[in-house]
Amino acid sequence: MSHIRTTRNETTKIIVIQRNSSWAFNLRDRIFAIYSQKGYPKHYPNTVLPEYACSQIAKYEVLGRAARDNTLNTHYFMWLDIGYFRDRKSTTLFRLNRPPNFNETMVAMNLILFNANLSLSPEVIFKNNLLWIGGGLVFANRLTILAYENQFRQAVEYFMSLSLMNTDQQIIYAMFSVEGRIALKPATEIQAYKPPTEYNWFYLGYLMLHEESP
């Protein structure tokens, strides 16, 4: 990793963000209060550690910050979990391309559950730790990322007003549920990439991966 970074200094920038400057981490005490409600289900770590929920919410804030700063003057932005390609055996250099048939007005994410019931209430989704989309990879163009961060933040505030919280995956599921759409009217949609089988968490990343020629 150190060799890779030393040869790419011009395209690498490490930005340290103080937690107290983060709107996501400033939700910590409010999330703690929600998780402390009598009978609130405990799904470790999602609904046990408020810091974990904050960290999952923060990925959209970080994407928004990166898009606003646009340090490298790029059109696309992506969140990628650090361990996303941990099962990859090849050591060949690779690049990640824009997903095929990508819709520029949408946010590309990985479909996890094919027939998720969008008629379920947000309360059921949050308290039963249900999911529809995986949050390990989030890809969109700059303007879409900025719009989606705002939309996501509004959803977080809305569900917290209902004394509900979990991770970003439950927030997204609930936001695009029938009830969530009525309440939040999300304008930026998810482009869900469907793998051959359910619970294929890394499908989209490998779909985007192209190995470099020797």
Q: Among 30-44, 79-93, 135-149, which stretch is predicted with the lowest mean pLDDT?
A: 79-93
User: Which tens digits make up the pLDDT trace of 132-149?
Assistant: 999 999 999 999 999 999
The residue with tokens 């490298």 is 72
> Rounded mean pLDDT of the chain?
95
Q: What is the pLDDT of residue 208?
A: 98
Q: Among 81-90, 143-152, 153-162, which stretch is predicted with the lowest mean pLDDT?
A: 81-90
pLDDT mean over 178-200: 99
pLDDT mean over 119-144: 99
Radius of gyration of the chain, Cα coordinates, nearest whole angstrom = 18
pLDDT mean over 107-127: 98
CA dist., res. 108 & res. 190, Å (int): 6
Is it the case that residue 11 has pLDDT exceeding 80? no
Is it the case that residue 4 has pLDDT exceeding 80? no
Q: What is the pLDDT of residue 12?
A: 80
Distances (CA, A) of 115 to 92, 118, 133, 171: 36, 9, 11, 18
Question: Structural domain boundaries of the chain?
Answer: 2-211
Distance from the Cα of residue 97 to its chain's centroid? 18
pLDDT mean over 9-28: 89
Which pTM does this prediction carry?
0.93
Q: What is the pLDDT of residue 69?
A: 95
Is it the case that residue 151 has pLDDT exceeding 60? yes
**Which pair of structure tokens corresponds to residue 154?**
């509004």
Q: What is the pLDDT of residue 136?
A: 97
**Which pair of structure tokens corresponds to residue 149?**
């961060």
Q: What is the pLDDT of residue 13?
A: 82
Give 38-74 as a 3 state SS string.
Answer: CCCCCCCCCCCCHHHHHHHHHHHHHHHHHHHHCCCCC
pLDDT mean over 148-163: 99
State the amino acid at position 8 in one-letter form.
Answer: R
Burial of 150 (0-12, 13-18, 19+ CB in 10 A): middle
Q: What is the pLDDT of residue 6?
A: 63
Is it the case that residue 65 has pLDDT exceeding 70? yes
Which residues are within 8 A (CB) of 28 and not within 5 positions of it... i.e. 6 or more apart? 50, 51, 54
